[in-house]
Amino acid sequence: MSSNASDSRETTTVSPGRRDDVALSVEGLRRSFGGITAVNGTSFDVKDGSLTGLIGPNGAGKSTTFDLVTGFTEADAGTVSLYGQDVSGLHPYQLVERGLVRTFQTPRELAQMTVEENLTIAPQNQTGENFLYSVLPGLRKRVTVEEDSVKERAREMMSLFDIEHLASERAENLSGGQRKLLALARALMTDPDVLLLDEPFAGVNPTLQERLLEHLRQLNADGYTILLIEHDMEVIMDNCEHVLVMHQGSILTQGTPDQVRNDEQVIDAYLGGSA
Ligand SMILES: Nc1ncnc2c1ncn2[C@@H]1O[C@H](COP(=O)(O)OP(=O)(O)O)[C@@H](O)[C@H]1O
Ligand SMILES: [Mg+2]
C-alpha cells in the first residue's frame, strides 16, 4: 500500500528539522476551552512504521490532541508535520488526502445506514455531516467516477474484518465490537499511511479485542504507522514499541514499555489522577 507513497515523499520539500524516519511530528500544540487548558504545549514524534501508544489518566488531553492533529479542533498554538511537511491548520479531509486518518473514541458511523453504505456513501449529500466528509473525502471523486472500485474496496474491507455477513445490516443494529470493526474499516477505505485510533477496544469483548489487536499488528506489519490511545496499560505494554505518556495536557515522559512502566512520574500521575 503505502511504501510507494512514502518513497515519493522522500523527495518532497522538507522543513529544516525533518527526520526521515518520522511520520508525524507535533510541536508545542496548545488548546484551551474557557478556563481549561486541555492541551498545554504537547510535543512528540511518531516514528514511521511504528505502533506507538499514547496513554495517560482520564482528562489528560489525549483525545483533544487527536482532534488538534487531525484538524477537528483548531489549535491555539503549535505545529503538526506529516512526513516533514507542515500540515498545521489543514482540514480533516485535506489530511485524509495526505494519508492521515483517525477514529473516534465514540464511533460516528451513520446509524440508519447499512454497513456497506457506511463504507461507500458519497459525502456530497451529507451537508453538515462533517465527520463523514472528513473520513471519506477520497471517495468524493471516486464515487462518481469509479463507483465500482469503491464498492470493491468496501467488499475487501468487510472481508478483512469478517463483517461481510453484516453488509446489509443497519449500523445501529451492530454490537459495540462490530461498530469498532466498522470504524476501522471506514478509516481504511481511504488507504491511509498513518492511523490515529482513539480507544478502539473500549466496549469490546475480550475475544473481539484480541481479533482487533491481531488486525492492528497485521496492519502495522504491512507498513501502516499507528498511534493508539488505549486505557488498558497491558495492551499498550504488550503491543507498542514506543509509549508516550500524557498528563495535564503535555507529554510527561516517553520511552519503551519497560522504561515507562517503571517511571516514578508515570506511577504518580496515575495514582494522583488527573486533578
Ligand atoms: N470541547 C470541549 N469543551 C470543553 N472542555 C473540553 C472539550 N474537549 C475536551 N475538554 C476538556 O479537556 C480536558 C482533556 O480532555 P480529553 O482530551 O478528552 O482527555 P482524554 O482523552 O485524555 O481523557 C478535559 O478536562 C476535558 O473536559
Ligand atoms: Mg479520550
- Inter-residue contact 167 to 116 (CB < 8 Å): yes
Q: Whose CA is nearest to atom 26 of ligand 1?
A: 59
Q: Which ligand 1 atom is the nearest neighbour of the CA of 229?
A: 21
Give the single-character DSSP code of 225.
E
Distance 249 CA to ligand 2 centre (A): 12
Question: Separation of 141 CA from ligand 2 center, angstroms?
Answer: 32
Element (H, E) at 100: strand 100-102
Please state, rounded to an integer, the average pLDDT across all residues of the chain. Answer: 83
Res 34: pLDDT: 94
How far apart CA 131 and CA 126 sit, in angstroms, is 10
Closest ligand 1 atom, residue 66 Cα: 17
pLDDT at 139: 47
- Given CATH 3.20.20.105, say whether it is the number of domain 109-191: no
Pairing of strands 22-33, 194-198: unpaired
Is 60 a pocket residue for ligand 1 (Cβ < 6 Å)? Answer: yes
Q: First CA to last CA across the chain, in angstroms?
A: 43
Pocket test of ligand 1: the residue of 33, 40, 105 to mutate, having most ligand atoms within 8 Å of its CB, is: 33
What is the reported pLDDT for 82?
97
User: Is any ligand 1 atom within 6 A of the Cβ of residue 4?
Assistant: no
Span 4-62, pLDDT tens digits: 444 444 444 444 444 569 999 999 999 999 999 999 999 999 999 999 999 999 999 99
Choose which residue among 55, 63, 64 to substitute to test ligand 1 binding: the one with the highest number of ligand atoms within 8 A of its C-beta. 64
**1-10+22-99+194-201+224-275 — its CATH code?**
3.40.50.300
> Is the pLDDT at 134 greater than 50, yes or no?
no
Residue closest via CA to ligand 1's atom 17 equals 61
Residue 248 has pLDDT above 60, yes or no: yes
State pLDDT tens for residues 176-203: 889 989 999 988 888 889 999 999 988 8
Nearest listed ligand to the Cα of residue 198: 2
Asked if domains 1-10+22-99+194-201+224-275 and 109-191 share a fold, the reply is yes
Q: What is the pLDDT of residue 78?
A: 98
Helices assigned H by DSSP within the chain: 3-9, 62-69, 92-97, 115-120, 130-135, 138-145, 147-160, 176-189, 206-221, 233-239, 257-261, 264-272
Q: What single string gives the DSSP state of each residue in 136-192?
A: STHHHHHHHH-HHHHHHHHHHHHHHTT-GGGTTSBGGGS-HHHHHHHHHHHHHHT--
| Smallest-distance ligand from the CA of 202 | 2
Q: Which of 96, 84, 106 is nearest to 135 (CA)?
A: 96
pLDDT of residue 189: 86
pLDDT cut 90: percent of the chain above it: 53
**Structure confidence at residue 176 (pLDDT):** 87
Ligand 1 contacts CB of residue 36 (under 6 A) = yes
Q: Which of 43-52, 60-69, 228-237 has the lowest mean pLDDT?
A: 228-237
Which helix (H) or strand (E) segment holds residue 229: the answer is: strand 225-229
Cβ(63) to ligand 1 under 6 A?
A: yes
Domain boundaries, the chain: 1-10+22-99+194-201+224-275, 109-191
pLDDT for 121 equals 72
Q: The pTM is what?
A: 0.85
Q: Are 23 and 223 in contact (CB under 8 A)?
A: no
Q: Which tens digits make up the pLDDT trace of 85-130?
A: 999 999 988 898 889 999 988 877 888 889 998 988 743 333 334 4
Beta strand 77-82 with 85-86: parallel, antiparallel or unpaired? antiparallel
Instruction: For residue 226, give the H/E element and its range.
Output: strand 225-229
Residue 147 confidence (pLDDT): 61
CB 39 within 8 A of CB 29: yes
99 lines ligand 1 (CB under 6 A): no
Residue 243 confidence (pLDDT): 96
On the CB side of 55, CA atoms within 13 Å amount to 27
Cβ 38 under 6 angstroms from ligand 1: yes
Strand partners, 244: 54, 254
Let me know: does 101 contact 196? Beta carbons within 8 Å: yes
